[in-house]
Each structure stands twice: as C-alpha cells, then as structure tokens.
Amino acid sequence: MHPNNDPALSDIGLAETVLSGGPRTDRITGMPTGSAPIVAGGPIVAFDNVSKNWGDNQVLKALNFNVNPGEKVSIIGPSGSGKTTILRILMTLESPTEGQVNVDGDVLWDVKLGDKIRESKVMRATRRKIGMVFQGFNLFPHMTALENIIEAPVHVLGMNKAEARDRAAELLQLVGLGTHMNHTPPQLSGGQQQRVAIARALAMRPKVLLFDEPTSALDPELIGEVLNVIRNLANSTDMTMLMVTHEMRFAEEISDRVVMFDHGSAVESGPPEQIFKNPQEERTRAFLQAVLKH
C-alpha cells in the first residue's frame, strides 16, 4: 500500500522491527500481511441510521457510515461536529439514541433491543475487537509502561504473564520505547505516554483501532514521534484504523479514505486526493480553507 521508507522510522526502531519480520505474519495483529484488504465479508464497521442526541442537541443525524476491513480512514471536520462521538459509540463509552452499529458482523449496538444490549455478552465480545487511543493518553499512572500493556492481555485474554511480557517488550520496541519498560507515566513525556498507549491498545490485537486526535494534547515538538508510529502501523498492518485528526497533511498521507463531518453528518467521503485537492462539497472546501490557512 505505502512504501515503508520513512527515514524517521529508524529513529524509533520501527523500521528494523517491522521490516525484518518479513512477509509471514503481521507482528502486531497476528494476521497475514501483504495482501490487500479483503472486502468480501462486507464492512467491518457499519453505522446504520445512528443518531445521538444530548437533550435537544442532535450530535449525530441518522448516520450511515461504513469502514471496510483493513481500511485506514481519517475523519476530519470542525469541532463539535460529532467526530469524537462516533469513536466513543464504537468503544461503547456512549450509547446511540437511534439505530444500529455492527462490528465485524456482530451487533455492538441496537437501540431496538432496548437496554438489554448494554454490557450484554454480545456487546462485550464485540468490544474486544476494538481498541482506542485517547487524546489524553489515559495510561494508568500508578503502573509501569509494561504493567499498563500486559494488564488486559493477562486479565482479559488469559495470556500467561511471561508471554504477555515478551509481547509487551516487543510492542514497546515497536513504538521506540524498548528501554522504558519500567517507567511510569509521570516519568514519560506526552509523546512517550501516547506511544505506550498505542502499544497498550495493540497488545489486545484489535481488529479495529480508533484514534481520537492522538496528537492534540502534545507539545508541537512531540507530535512527530507519535505520527511516525501511527504511520508505520498504517503502512505495515492490515488492521482497520479509524482516526479523528486535525493533522491534515498526515491524514492525506496515510489514509485510504477521508471523511468530512459537519453537524453530525458525513458531508463528503473520498480518497485523500479528492478531499484535499478537489473537494466536491462547499463545506469541505470552506473547512479546509480555514484550517490550512496558517
């Protein structure tokens, strides 16, 4: 899909780890690599007529939105347009007011079923296929980087501790923090914390990884190291990635598709070349003009 030739990758030890792995299996998701995303089974994420209201404020408006397996999708749009809400509904941190959400063929949300879907077996099983990287990292501050990463594999997947540690060490290597295993979040910079958070999410081998403005809370000089890690993931895995971002250049570079949101609706969706070079919608044009001005 994308050539893996970013010189910056070697800085954080990503290039060696991933490239030396060869084409056998994906070191992160454990799935076969090299092939183009297989779309035969239908979308991996499907929003079907999903609405979300906060009182009178309709944040999502009968949204229909699909993501195909392996697709890297960036969501852009003005603040308050409902971008975060989409990710939070997928992560089950928020419930929709209307509609249905399916992930990998399984029900995550179905408002018709009422309250019994919430924290049901089905939802919990489906949720395990999804991971999320938060704007504010949300690492567990009283645990080391390693402990943060092995917690869920050991206590959710039932992996034995030794194996989980080995994998965590590998993942930390992958995000360029192989030497920071025993650091706690307060001992790490924002950029390092976010990279640990990415490793923590990857440790659960999610099929879909969500990013909510992963670099918005970072000092400018720390943004690059996090983007490099995400770029490398996008280039080297078949994992589906759904990212809300204000980094337009980055979105253009790594995405298969960019979706423009405004007032709770997908206004325009298309390949990055279309969205950034030749937007079809006036609102997309206006938004890009406003954010790219400076």
Partner 1 sequence: MIWDNAFAISIIPMLLKGLWVTIQLTLLGTLIAAVLGLVAAVIRRLQIPVVSPAVSFIVIFIRGTPLLIQAYVAFFVLPIYGISFNAFTTGVVIIGINYSAYMAEVYRSGIQGVPNGQWEAATALSLPATRVWFRIILPQAVRTVIPMLGNYLIQMFKDSAVLSAITVVELMATAQSIGTSTYRYLEPLTMAGALFFLVSYPASRLVNKLERRYAPKQ
Ligand X SMILES: Nc1ncnc2c1ncn2[C@@H]1O[C@H](COP(=O)(O)OP(=O)(O)O)[C@@H](O)[C@H]1O
Closest Cα to residue 102, out of 117, 85, 82?
117
**CB neighbour class for 251 (10 Å; exposed up to 12, middle 13-18, buried from 19):** buried
Binding of partner 1 at residue 127 (CB under 8 A)?
yes
Q: State the Cα–Cα distance between residues 8 and 219, nearest whole angstrom.
A: 18
One-letter amino acid identity for 237? Answer: T
Q: At what angle do helices 161-174 and 190-202 cross, to 10 degrees?
A: 130
Closest CB to partner 1 among residues 205, 283? 205
Residue 1 binding partner per list ligand X, Mg ion, partner 1, none, with a CB distance cut-off of 5 to 8 Å that depends on partner kind:
none
Closest CB to ligand X among residues 81, 236? 81
Binding of partner 1 at residue 132 (CB under 8 A)?
yes
3-state secondary structure of 31: coil
Binding of Mg ion at residue 84 (CB under 5 A)?
yes
Supply 117's token pair. Answer: 């879907």
22, 35, 42, 142: residue in contact with partner 1 (rule CB under 8 A): 142
Site for partner 1 in 161-220 (CB under 8 A): 186, 200-201, 204
Contact region with Mg ion (CB under 5 A), list: 38-46, 76-84, 111-119, 261-269: 76-84
The residues binding ligand X (CB under 6 A) are 54, 57, 59, 79-85
Residue 226 binding partner per list Mg ion, partner 1, ligand X, none, with a CB distance cut-off of 5 to 8 Å that depends on partner kind:
none
Binding of Mg ion at residue 245 (CB under 5 A)?
no
120, 138, 184, 274: residue in contact with partner 1 (rule CB under 8 A): 138
One-letter amino acid identity for 213? Answer: E
Q: Which residue has the tokens 């081998």?
A: 205
Binding of partner 1 at residue 91 (CB under 8 A)?
yes
DSSP, res 219? -
Q: State the Cα–Cα distance between residues 243 and 233, nearest whole angstrom.
A: 12
3-state secondary structure of 63: strand
Taking the CA of residue 25 as centre, how many other CA atoms within 13 Å lie in the half-sphere pointing to its CB? 5
> Site for partner 1 (CB under 8 A): how many residues?
24
Min dist. Cβ of residue 50 to ligand X (A): 13
* Cβ-based neighbours of 39, under 8 Å, separated by 6 or more: 68, 69
Closest CB to ligand X among residues 89, 203? 89
50, 59, 130, 258: residue in contact with partner 1 (rule CB under 8 A): 130
Closest CB to partner 1 among residues 8, 204? 204
Q: Left (φ > 0), alpha (ψ -120 to 50) or beta: where does 110 sit?
A: beta
Closest CB to Mg ion among residues 70, 131? 131
How many CB atoms lie under 10 A from the CB of residue 181? 17
Q: Which residues bind Mg ion (CB under 5 A)?
A: 84
Q: Which residues bind partner 1 (CB under 8 A)?
A: 91-93, 124, 127-128, 130-132, 134, 136, 138-142, 151-152, 155-156, 186, 200-201, 204
